[in-house]
Each structure stands twice: as structure tokens, then as C-alpha cells.
Amino acid sequence: MGFFDRNRKALEQAGIDPARLPPGQYHTDRFPVLHVGSPTMYADDLSDWDLRVFGMVEQELTLSFDELTALPAVEVTTDIHCVTKWSKFDTGWTGVRMRDLYKMAGASSSATHVIMHGEHGYTANLPIDHTIGDDALVTWAYDGAPLEVDHGYPVRTLVPHLYLWKSVKWLRGIELADQDRPGFWEQNGYHNLGEPFAEQRFWGD
């Protein structure tokens, strides 16, 4: 029996439905750290950080951290899946739904895609429909505590039904657009959508 089969068997023995694990994934209780480049360090009071919601909107938003976290927040418990083949179950996040930010900015009905901007020019792209569900968040807390620097402090996106590279760390902007614009990993061979249960890891999958 191979590693992945043993991992699924261990889930079953622990009373966890192995069907929660997408093909080609293994379950872990750890939260591995994977990212491009070095984290950006901000002032202790985050006075040098803000978040823009811009593009095809009626009113561009620029929110400080205090303004963002003062918005009505939700708590989401969800499984997450990394394209490097690990999955972690029942992770807890706090944040504001992405669709609520779109509404605040007056998103155009012609907007079809979202470009999420991180630090240092990093981007990831998604059809807007994949970012308006209940679990799609701009999040600032994991398991009841502020995000750790390596996991995107102070703010990241969370789109948990897709591979985790589509959830952008060190978020600085959300751009609404009327056309697709592949981001960093998409331009380097990763799948343009990245659905774990369809094993959409790379172009052509």
C-alpha cells in the first residue's frame, strides 16, 4: 500500500470521510509554508498598509486595516488544499466576504474576473463567480489569532474550493475586470482555475 492509500486509510480509521480528500492529495495536521519571495514587514500599527478595491467599480475603495476589520465579519471553517499535494481539514478563518467588498465599491455588472494583487507585483486571477460564495473571504485571522507573517499577515484572500495558490497572501488590492489576466503562477504553467477535485494543477490538466 502506497503513501496516499495509507493516508486515506488512516482518515477512515479516525472516523473522517476520505472523500473529503481530493485525488492526489494527502491529509496533514500541519500548515506548511510555501510562497514566492520574502514577506513584507509593516509598521506595528499597520499605518503603512491599506487595501484597494478598484477597476470596474463605481467608487474605488481604499481601506486601512482598522477600517477593514471594523466591517461585519464572518467566521468560516473549511478544508484547504495546496497544489503541492497537502490538504488540511477544518481550518478556521475570520474576515469579510469578498462579495461584500464588491457591493461596497459598486461592482459593475460587466465585471467578469477578479485580479488579486499581493506585494511585489504578485497576482492571481479568477472568474468573479468563484469569489462570491459564502466561504470566499478577505481574511485577517486564522484559528482565532492574527495571521502569521508566513501565512499572509496582515491580510490575505481565501478561496478554499480552489488550490491555495489562488488565495493571495500579503494582499494589497482587488481589481475587478472585464477580461481574464493570468497571474504569476498561471503564467508559469499552473492551471488557470485550479479545482482540486478535478486535479487542475497545470495547463492541460
Q: Where are the domains of the chain?
A: 3-36+48-198
On whether the CB atoms of residues 99 and 129 are closer than 8 A, the answer is no
Residue 1 confidence (pLDDT) above 70: no
Give me 43's grid cell: 509598521
180-204 per-residue burial string, b: 16 or more CB within 10 A, e: under 16? eeebbbbeeebbebbbbeebbbeee
Q: How many helices, marked H, and strands, marked E, lie in the chain?
A: 4, 11
Q: Tell me, which fold does domain 3-36+48-198 have in CATH?
A: Sulfite Oxidase; Chain A, domain 2 (3.90.420)
Tell me the pTM: 0.93
Residues 50-70: tens digit of each pLDDT: 999 999 999 999 999 999 999
Choose between 119 and 15: higher pLDDT.
119
CA distance 160 to 90: 11
Q: Express each pLDDT in 171-189 by its tens digit.
A: 999 999 999 999 999 999 9
Percent of the chain with pLDDT over 90: 82
